[in-house]
Amino acid sequence: MDLKNKLVILDRDGVINLDSDDYIKSPEEWIAIQSSLRAIAKLNRAGLKVAVATNQSGISRGFFDNSTLAMMHKKMEMELAKVGAHIDALEFCPDHPNNPGPNRKPSTGMVDKLLRLFDVKASETWFVGDSLSDIKCAENSGCRPALVLTGKGQRTLASGIVDSKLPVFDDLLSFTENLINNKT
């Protein structure tokens, strides 16, 4: 499969940066996974579009506001730039899980918007995440799901809930190398 002009959608917390059960609430708490930054640079160089779809219920929970989230994303952009990488689009959903709208994963609103934005087919788009809601969102939207074992990935895999045929990778870099080398 030709990778040029294809899209890879990534979850943020646990895939691009370290995650916390207490939420990432500030730019100081947003700490990049260095191998993920390098992976995104490789995806960029391979001609793939890279987008992020992230639930950020910390906003509706009152842990941080939109301005703080924007600062976290600015830090992400700056960290990516240091390795010659960038994100082509970013969608976030602030909805509380007790009152989810159509954008909160596992619903597909964010993914549907990204698929339209880049005019790509869901069946040719990978969605890489570390949680069951990421995998279900990929499946619900018709994307190809992949689980990484960073973040909540090991816990997700150990739950026994995910399909045994689900592609599982140690981290985003492992996924990227497999994709670029046509092993995925």
**What tokens were used for 14?**
């646990």
pLDDT in tens, 112-153: 999 999 999 999 999 999 999 999 999 999 999 999 999 999
Mean predicted lDDT score pLDDT of the chain: 96
pLDDT class of 183 with cuts at 50, 70, 90: low
In angstroms, the CA 109 to CA 79 distance is: 27
pLDDT in tens, 66-117: 999 999 999 999 999 999 999 999 999 999 999 999 999 999 999 999 999 9
Q: Out of 13, 19, 95, 112, pick the active-site residue.
A: 13
Q: Catalytic: 11?
A: yes
Q: Catalytic: 171?
A: no
- C-beta of residue 36 within 8 angstroms of C-beta of residue 43: no
Q: Out of 2, 11, 21, 171, pick the active-site residue.
A: 11
pLDDT at residue number 13: 98
Could you tell me the fold of the domain covering 7-180?
Answer: Rossmann fold (3.40.50)
In angstroms, the CA 18 to CA 175 distance is: 17
Residues with Cβ within 8 Å of residue 10, at least 6 apart in sequence: 16, 40, 50, 51, 52, 53, 127, 128, 129, 172
